[in-house]
């Protein structure tokens, strides 16, 4: 039995040509944030005055319910700083739209933790980017490690099971994976690792913080040993060339199975690329989100067959599919060429070429606070001031099981 | 009332979709999402979708397959698909009919 036999197309091809609605989507509810993480994908800090109102957010939820979007990955900014956050969360889950939200944990009180534990349609991701305060706080700001740990304690005491401890893998915490796994397990949480992307403020720190080639190789082996017990949001498919595919669908889901709605309602193809080049429309436009998903030129183009470009002749192309579009875009590499972290080193070679700086796209939006913290990125160095948000990734296909 | 051990699948017993599962038809079949386990499954044909949707109305998995138009030749493959759905908790056994 197989749709493959019936249609002559593989599962991956089916997904590449797009779905009637996203499987899930990333929804950044606000650009406001009480932290100021150096690698924030959405350059968050200040609230945008054009932010969707409570009523507008409800209408988006209604639409997602009609489209049968299973759940939204809510992020920001720090989504819980929106006054209507808890109300919107209840509204979504009462309308069959599950909510998985990412938070730095600062607003998780014992009462909130109990309410979250009682709602089967909610999942929580606590962001922590280092097993030790030194490593975490260098990236996320002073005190943010303690805040995250306290939130996890509260969720665990409230009986919340299997929430997520979400970690962006960096050069400094990649050596702490076992410790991070132990922390997650201490609170009954599941570890989730995602890729450091050169998006938003991440562009400023990527050269310094992204794992080295040797670290990536070890990361791949570590993930392969863990199998499905560690989640990755399908983040590391660019490492597939090292050997067997990692668990997950292993393809770029942008505009095909995922997308992003930003705080002002703009719809972007990729959760990691808030930039005009990936802007498909706005939920406030006539036809709303559904029309953007189904009819926008950009999404249509992303669902058409892609050529491998410079990578087409590479023997590993079927494994990595050319890697991550956002990672290429924000490091100034051609979209049809190798990923900057290509396992064969082709990306590094291109990055080393002179003149790359001139090709790096300027950020389209920046909500960073105007007094940006300049932080030493290497742990132990004196760290500075404001704290921050949280990348909200996730292509849900990581846990996908093929049936039939 | 006897219920099969977890992970096993008896085609002659009554089954239904878990109440925490949401199913969305797609051109090539359907996507099923379990809000409890947060797992996504892919049903690779519309016929499998029909089988799964019919489970609750029929006295056995076998009958649900037959009514959805599954042929004898196709039955082993559909049984395996249901087995996998049962193993991941998408499909659960009903009490005695």
Predicted ipTM? 0.83
Is the per-residue pLDDT at A146 higher than 70?
yes
In this prediction, residues A133-160 reach a mean pLDDT of 98
Determine which of A106-110, A162-166, A314-318, A372-376 has the lowest per-residue pLDDT on average.
Answer: A372-376
A115, A46 Cβ separation under 8 angstroms: no
Q: Please give the Cα distance from A188 to A185 (Å, whole number).
A: 5
Q: Chain B: residue nearest A122 by CA?
A: B35
Q: What is the mean pLDDT of chain A?
A: 89
Q: Please give the Cα distance from B29 to A41 (Å, whole number).
A: 35
DSSP H helices, A169-262, are: 177-186, 202-209, 213-226
Q: What is the distance, to the nearest Å, from the Cα of residue A175 to the centroid of all Cα atoms in its chain?
A: 21
pTM score, whole prediction = 0.88
Determine, for residues B81 and A1 on separate chains, whether the beta-carbon distance falls below 8 Å. Answer: yes
Q: What pLDDT was estimated at residue A340?
A: 96
Which candidate from A6, A20, A96 shows the least CB-CB separation from B45? A6
Q: What pLDDT was estimated at residue B89?
A: 93
- pLDDT band of residue A355 (cuts 50, 70, 90) is low
Q: What is the pLDDT of residues A36-51, one digit of tens each?
A: 999 999 999 999 999 9
Measured between beta carbons, the chain A residues lying within 8 angstroms of B41 are 400-403
Q: Chain A: residue nearest B35 by CA?
A: A121
Tokens of A270: 């990729």
Which candidate from B26, B31, B35 shows the least CB-CB separation from A120? B35
B17, B91 Cβ separation under 8 angstroms: yes
In this prediction, residues B15-24 reach a mean pLDDT of 95
Q: What is the pLDDT of residues A56-90, one digit of tens each?
A: 999 999 999 999 999 999 999 999 999 999 999 99
Which candidate from B22, B28, B43 shows the least CB-CB separation from A96? B22
Q: How near does any CA of chain B get to the CA of A380, in Å?
A: 38
Q: What pLDDT was estimated at residue B97?
A: 42
Which candidate from A3, A100, A396 shows the least CB-CB separation from B28? A3
DSSP H helices, A210-268, are: 213-226
Q: What is the pLDDT of residues B27-81, one digit of tens each?
A: 889 999 999 888 889 998 999 999 999 999 999 999 999 999 999 999 999 999 9
Is the per-residue pLDDT at A371 higher than 80?
no
Q: What pLDDT was estimated at residue A353?
A: 83
Q: Which of A80, A84, A126 is nearest to A102 (CA)?
A: A126
Q: Please give the Cα distance from A335 to A308 (Å, whole number).
A: 9
- pLDDT band of residue A9 (cuts 50, 70, 90) is low
Relative to beta strand B39-43, strand B29-34 is: antiparallel
Determine, for residues B28 and A403 on separate chains, whether the beta-carbon distance falls below 8 Å. Answer: no
Interface of B with A in 23-42 (CB under 8 A): 24, 26-29, 31-33, 35-36, 38-42
Q: Please give the Cα distance from A224 to A219 (Å, whole number).
A: 9
Asked whether the bond before A77 is cis by omega within 30 degrees of 0, the reply is yes
Number of neighbours of residue A282 by Cβ within 10 angstroms: 16
Q: Chain A: residue nearest B74 by CA?
A: A1
Q: What pLDDT was estimated at residue B22?
A: 93
- pLDDT band of residue A370 (cuts 50, 70, 90) is confident
Q: Please give the Cα distance from A172 to A377 (Å, whole number).
A: 9
Substitution target from B24, B30, B37, B48 for chain A, most A beta carbons within 10 A: B24
Q: What is the pLDDT of residues A207-233, one digit of tens each?
A: 999 999 999 999 999 999 999 899 998
- pLDDT band of residue B95 (cuts 50, 70, 90) is confident
Classify residue A382 as left (phi > 0), alpha (psi -120 to 50) or beta: beta
Tokens of A125: 């991701």
Contacts of residue B22, Cβ cutoff 8 Å, sequence gap at least 6 = A68, A70, A96, B32, B33, B35
- pLDDT band of residue A152 (cuts 50, 70, 90) is very high
Q: What is the pLDDT of residues A254-281, one digit of tens each?
A: 999 999 999 999 999 999 999 999 999 9
Q: Please give the Cα distance from A390 to A117 (Å, whole number).
A: 22
Max intra-chain CA distance, chain A: 61
Q: Please give the Cα distance from A182 to A179 (Å, whole number).
A: 5
Tokens of B74: 């196709």
Q: What pLDDT was estimated at residue A376?
A: 74
Is the per-residue pLDDT at A239 higher than 60?
yes
Determine, for residues B33 and A14 on separate chains, whether the beta-carbon distance falls below 8 Å. Answer: no
Q: Which residue has the higher pLDDT, A11 or A278?
A: A278
Determine, for residues A404 and B29 on separate chains, whether the beta-carbon distance falls below 8 Å. Answer: yes
Is the per-residue pLDDT at A403 higher than 70?
no
Q: What is the distance, to the nearest Å, from the Cα of residue A49 to the centroid of all Cα atoms in its chain?
A: 24
Measured between beta carbons, the chain B residues lying within 8 angstroms of A7 are 28
- pLDDT band of residue A380 (cuts 50, 70, 90) is low
- pLDDT band of residue B1 (cuts 50, 70, 90) is very low
Number of neighbours of residue A306 by Cβ within 10 angstroms: 16
Within 13 A of A369's CA, how many CA atoms are on the CB side?
18
Rg (alpha carbons) of chain B, rounded to whole number? 12
Relative to beta strand A279-282, strand A266-268 is: antiparallel
Substitution target from A73, A247, A395, A404 for chain B, most B beta carbons within 10 A: A404
Q: Residue A5: enclosing H or E segment and its boundaries?
A: helix A3-7
Substitution target from A248, A253, A294, A403 for chain B, most B beta carbons within 10 A: A403
A248, A228 Cβ separation under 8 angstroms: no
Please count the residues of chain B: 97
Is the per-residue pLDDT at A354 higher than 70?
no
Measured between beta carbons, the chain B residues lying within 8 angstroms of A71 are 33, 35
- pLDDT band of residue B2 (cuts 50, 70, 90) is very low
Determine, for residues A403 and B31 on separate chains, whether the beta-carbon distance falls below 8 Å. Answer: no
Kindly state the DSSP code that residue A276 receives in the 8-state scheme.
Answer: G
Is the per-residue pLDDT at A313 higher than 70?
yes
State the residue for tokens 């309410």. A115
Q: What percent of chain A has pLDDT over 90?
A: 76
Q: What pLDDT was estimated at residue A389?
A: 34
Is the per-residue pLDDT at B3 higher than 70?
no
Which candidate from A14, A23, A403 shows the least CB-CB separation from B84? A403
């Amino acid at each position: 039995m197989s749709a493959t036999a019936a249609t002559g197309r593989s599962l991956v091809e089916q997904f590449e040509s797009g779905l009637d609605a996203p499987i899930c989507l990333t929804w950044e509810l606000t650009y406001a944030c009480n932290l100021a993480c150096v690698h924030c994908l959405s350059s968050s800090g200040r609230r945008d005055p054009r932010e969707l109102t409570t009523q507008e957010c409800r209408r988006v939820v209604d639409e997602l319910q009609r489209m049968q979007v299973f759940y939204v990955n809510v992020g920001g900014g720090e989504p819980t700083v929106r006054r209507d956050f808890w109300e919107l969360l209840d509204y979504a889950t009462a309308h069959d739209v599950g909510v998985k939200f990412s938070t730095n944990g600062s607003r998780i009180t014992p009462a909130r933790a109990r309410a979250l534990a009682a709602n089967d349609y909610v999942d929580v991701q606590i962001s922590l980017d280092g097993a030790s305060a030194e490593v975490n706080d260098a990236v996320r700001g002073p005190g943010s490690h303690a805040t995250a740990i306290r939130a996890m304690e509260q969720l665990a005491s409230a009986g919340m099971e299997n929430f997520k401890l979400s970690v962006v893998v960096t050069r400094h915490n990649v050596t702490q994976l076992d410790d991070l796994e132990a922390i997650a397990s201490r609170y009954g949480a599941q570890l989730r690792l995602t890729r450091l992307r050169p998006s938003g403020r991440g562009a400023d720190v990527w050269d310094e913080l992204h794992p080295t080639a040797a670290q990536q190789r070890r990361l791949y082996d570590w993930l392969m040993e863990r199998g499905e017990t560690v989640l990755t949001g399908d983040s590391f498919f660019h490492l597939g060339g090292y050997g067997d595919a990692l668990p997950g669908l292993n393809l770029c889901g942008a505009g095909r199975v995922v997308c992003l709605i930003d705080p002002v309602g703009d719809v972007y193809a990729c959760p990691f690329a808030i930039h005009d080049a990936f802007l498909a429309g706005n939920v406030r436009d006539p036809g709303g989100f559904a029309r953007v998903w189904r009819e926008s030129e950009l999404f249509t183009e992303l669902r058409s067959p892609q050529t491998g470009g410079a990578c087409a002749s590479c023997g590993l192309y079927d494994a990595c599919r050319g890697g991550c579009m956002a990672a290429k875009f924000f490091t100034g590499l051609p979209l049809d060429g190798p990923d900057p972290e290509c396992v064969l080193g082709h990306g590094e070679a291109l990055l080393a070429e002179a003149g790359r700086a001139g090709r790096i796209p300027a950020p389209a939006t920046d909500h960073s606070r105007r007094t940006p913290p300049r932080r030493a990125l290497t742990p132990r160095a004196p760290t500075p001031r404001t704290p921050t948000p949280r990348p909200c990734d996730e292509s849900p296909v990581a846990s996908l099981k093929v049936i039939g | 009332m006897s219920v099969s051990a977890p992970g096993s699948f008896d085609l002659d017993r009554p089954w239904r979709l878990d109440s925490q599962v949401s199913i969305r038809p797609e051109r090539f079949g359907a996507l099923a999402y379990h809000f409890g386990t947060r797992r996504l499954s892919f049903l690779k044909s519309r016929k499998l979708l029909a089988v799964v949707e019919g489970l609750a109305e029929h006295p056995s998995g076998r009958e649900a397959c037959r009514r959805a138009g599954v042929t004898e030749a196709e039955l082993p493959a559909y049984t395996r698909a249901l087995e996998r759905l049962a193993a991941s908790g998408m499909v659960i056994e009903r009490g005695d009919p």
